Amino acid sequence: MKQSLFESRHQADWQAFATQLATLERGKADAAQCTGFAAAYRRLCQQLALAQARGYSNHLVERLQQLALRGHQQFYRHRSPLGAQLLGFVLGGFPRLVRAEWRCVLAASLLFFGSLLGMGLLVYLFPELVYSVMDAEQVSGMEQMYDPDASRLGRFAERDSGDDWLMFGFYIMNNIGIAFQTFASGLLLGLGSLFFLLFNGLMIGAVAGHLTQIGYGQTFWSFVIGHGAFELTAIALAGAAGLKLGWALLAPGRLPRGEALRRAAARSVRLIGGVILLLLLAAFVEAYWSSMTLASASLKYAVGAGLWLLVLAYLGLAGRGGHAPD
């Protein structure tokens, strides 16, 4: 049978099955709408096998494979408690998703960490360059925050430990705001995410280079190394999620641009869910550990190195053997 005849004969069935799938995926299907789903799924699998055996076009085979995959997920899915779903996502789903989106993660990491390291080195070698990205008042504020004589590090004003919980809340709101800005601006064809990855990298690099150059390096690096493992990783992953949105708009492939964006957004939003978790951890460490002056710098470096290794091991090894959520 020619492909054109095969498609015309089954096109209506495929469209009906896709509509039924969309209803099930939204969780709005009633008993009547589920009638015949199993039979339709079996027919689709048979038609997919025929298309592959007859050597029909890759476009058709890929379309049927996508429908079959979505049908499989709906046919065999089970409703687990919300807590179990969240635990499964944290223990395996999120790191698997990060690895599955390695291209976007790599691009965002190179942009963010590359600009951070590059700007830090330039400011260290050419101190006046810091004023190209920060004004004198901001530079003075940074020096005050990381003065070795300060009783609490990383803060503009002196606060006692009783205010740590206020700073914890501030760090959460500030960090999540930066991450969401970096992610959502990806809708501007990815240019927004590109800008904020570079902007944040340049700003952090300028601060790091300047404070190291004036002799505040130990207080600065011992402060940021702990929570930086979670916070900096989260910013890069937020940028990766935004770049994925932008790429779906720029290069939707064979899909309509709206459908490509919908699929990309489903995965990007899951990435942001993990980003928020990392930022919560970062805020806790920053408020209750990083700002302490009682702990020695060597102890902070040791703990910080351990946290970086933990984050890298988690993203690289956790959840292996499963599959990334669609």
In a shared domain, residues 103 and 48: no
Q: Is residue 48 assigned to a domain?
A: yes
Q: How far apart are CA 176 and CA 184, in angstroms?
A: 12
Side-chain-facing half-sphere of 244: CA atoms under 13 Å: 28
In a shared domain, residues 61 and 209: no
In a shared domain, residues 154 and 223: yes
Q: Is residue 277 assigned to a domain?
A: yes
Are 325 and 85 in contact by the 8 Å Cβ rule? The answer is no
Q: Is residue 323 assigned to a domain?
A: no
In a shared domain, residues 61 and 92: no
Q: Is residue 223 assigned to a domain?
A: yes
Q: Is residue 325 assigned to a domain?
A: no
Q: Is residue 324 assigned to a domain?
A: no
Instruction: Using alpha carbons only, give the angle 156, 158, 160 rounded to the nearest 5 degrees.
Output: 130
* Residue range of the domain that includes 201: 83-317
In a shared domain, residues 252 and 126: yes
In a shared domain, residues 125 and 148: yes
Q: What pLDDT is stored for residue 151 in this prediction?
A: 61
Q: What pLDDT is stored for residue 77 in this prediction?
A: 65
In a shared domain, residues 132 and 210: yes
Q: How far apart are CA 314 and CA 321, in angstroms?
A: 14
User: pLDDT of 68-102, one tens digit each?
Assistant: 888 888 776 645 566 777 888 898 999 999 999 99
Q: What pLDDT is stored for residue 33 in this prediction?
A: 60
Q: Cα 156 to chain center, whole Å? A: 30
In a shared domain, residues 99 and 38: no
Q: What pLDDT is stored for residue 94 in this prediction?
A: 95
Helix axes 3-25, 37-53, angle to 10 degrees: 140
In a shared domain, residues 34 and 172: no
Domain boundary among 37, 59, 77: 77
In a shared domain, residues 44 and 142: no
Parts of the chain with a pLDDT under 50:
78, 157-161
Q: How far apart are CA 302 and CA 304, in angstroms?
A: 5
Q: What pLDDT is stored for residue 241 in this prediction?
A: 97
In a shared domain, residues 13 and 94: no
The reported pTM is 0.73
Q: Cα 253 to chain center, whole Å? A: 23
Domain boundary among 52, 77, 102: 77
Q: Is residue 14 assigned to a domain?
A: yes
Angular region, 135: left φ>0, alpha ψ -120 to 50, beta rest: beta
In 3-state terms the chain splits into helix, strand, coil percentages (rounded to 5) of 80, 0, 20
Q: Is residue 174 assigned to a domain?
A: yes
In a shared domain, residues 230 and 93: yes
Domain boundary among 77, 98, 120: 77
- The number of distinct structural domains making up the chain is 2
